[in-house]
Chains A and B, each alone.
Chain A
């Protein structure tokens, strides 16, 4: 605080006031904000990282693994089908050999031919089995395999015995008896061989069908599973992205409405959106700095406007001082002591009056940072009207302040709200014809948690076609160089930041009413959420009667 005081008294008063307020609120407020921003920054980065990148890659990798699994299963199954096909061919060949053998066997018993062929065929069948012993063993099991081999051996032995019988050249009843006996055994054994082979064929065909069905099922089920997995994956990935985008669009709205609380972590991990959040927080800080500059520059414009009124009003005490001092000088010798004293007292009083005229403006003009505290709206409005009083007097307009008794306090920044109301009152003065009045009415709003300040002028009103644009930045109806078109825009920003709003109603030719609603302090939680978590005021005012 770099200020030069005219008198040591004043300097002491200001110093005392400062000590009562504790540390410099400007510094405290700024520190609080920086701390909140840093905390948010730290919290955002403190979480474990689970990036979108990772989720996408991980998902695709899982899909790849799954497809790989399916492919392996299908290849394995195909291999098994191939084996079975080959084995089936083998079995077929065996059955054909046995069949052939038995046909030769029958020929022999009917016509006495082809015994040699039968022996040859059964050797071929046996050879076939021996060559593929391993494979057959696997399919039939060791017991089945040895049974088949044993049967073939028995059959072969029988054929050999028959061959030997033929070679001996035996004739007669004995020969016939032995032959009949062998024939009986041969038929039985041959039948068994054949049925074993057929049985094997049947079994193998069933296995083959099973294997093919298996591969069909693998395909169908894995497709279904893949579909479900892809659905779930898409849902989670989509939800993660969309939900966050929605959250950020809410942030954007919140920031647009003037709430500059930094973004804090909403999830248990950080990812690419965290970088976005950090960028948002940076933007919020920049926006806040810029808004502060805008508010301050607009305030200085208001100060400029007020200065004209102050300069004029200041002329009166200055004139009184000049006249008095001049006359005192001129008539010093002819005046008596009483008269001299009276004149000097006038000078002193008029000097004090001058000081009072400018001190409000100087207080208002002093740069200060945002600080929230419970405020008495009626007192605030009275101070604002005092601030504008020179302007009001100058324009020949009357201003009436009416308020409902025992209104609760509101929570806000006194400087910024004064600026808002000053702006509205100065606008009302501009709109009002000479000799008219402006009403300032403070009442509870329709919503019980709010107070409403109505600033009513009886001027020309605002044409319907521009009523919607008056809060737009750079919109002005005042002449070039007279208004920036930022007053209402800045005011709305300030009120929005306080969790309130400004509304306007106007009838052309009848005047305009600007209504500012502001939340009262009886609902601290809501206020905290609606306005600002940076507040360095820890206790909220009770809604007691006004001081």
Chain B
């Protein structure tokens, strides 16, 4: 039984967490879902996550701030940004600031799973998901 990966998922859209939590749990992640960035930040301070998945555009606090916070607090943690198509410049900025990767909305659960699998690989962890096994042809 491989070690479970600790994932924090932050998106102010409730459905994102609701659907992704079971999707990621199935590949061996322990997922904590937050809709409020402030609560998420508090949780990050309390616990070291392996992977943080955060939306970039949110009210009050945006994803870049979350990224900066995580990089400062836990440099080992991989941060994956969720962006919209109109936010490519923000995505580039996030990459410059040390994000692991970004994924553009709308995406399929498998696309995120693949990015998470790569992040896990980078952390020398493994997930129950083949990185090349996705149905790319559907995109």
Residues of A within 8 A of B (CB): 308-309, 311-312, 315-316, 318-324, 326-327, 330-331, 343, 346, 350, 393-394, 396
Contacts and interface: CB of A to CB of B under 8 A. Distances in A.
Contacts of A331: 22
B107 A319 contact: yes
From DSSP, what is the main secondary structure of chain B's interface residues?
A: helix
B15 A320 contact: yes
B13 to A, nearest CB: 5
Given A327-B22, A346-B15, A321 B84 contact: no
B22 A315 contact: no
Contacts of B85: 311-312, 315
B84 A320 contact: no
A323 B86 contact: no
A323 B108 contact: yes
A327 B105 contact: no
Interface string B32-69: 00000000000000000000000001010010000000
B15 A330 contact: no
A311 B86 contact: yes
B39 to A, nearest CB: 20
A323 B109 contact: yes
27 contacts: A311-B84, A311-B85, A311-B86, A312-B57, A312-B85, A312-B86, A315-B85, A315-B105, A315-B106, A316-B13, A316-B84, A316-B105, A318-B106, A319-B13, A319-B106, A319-B107, A320-B15, A323-B16, A323-B19, A323-B23, A323-B106, A323-B108, A324-B15, A327-B19, A327-B22, A393-B57, A396-B57
Contacts of B110: 326
Contact of B62 (A324, A330, A396): A396
A394 B109 contact: no
Interface of B: 13, 15-16, 18-20, 22-23, 57, 59, 62, 84-87, 104-110
Contacts of B18: 346
A316 B62 CA distance: 16
Nearest to B23: A327
B113 to A, nearest CB: 11
What are the 3 A-B residue pairs with the smallest beta carbon separation, nearest first?
A319-B106, A312-B86, A315-B105
A378 to B, nearest CB: 25
Given A316-B13, A346-B15, A350-B15, A394 B57 contact: yes
A324 B105 contact: no
A308 B57 CA distance: 14
Given A331-B22, A350-B15, A326 B108 contact: yes
Nearest to A313: B84
A357 to B, nearest CB: 13
Given A316-B84, A324-B19, 8 more contacts: A315-B85, A315-B105, A316-B13, A323-B107, A327-B19, A331-B22, A346-B15, A394-B86
Nearest to B112: A323
A327 B20 CA distance: 8
A326 B139 CA distance: 12
Contacts of A319: 13, 16, 105-107
A315 B15 contact: no
Nearest to B62: A396
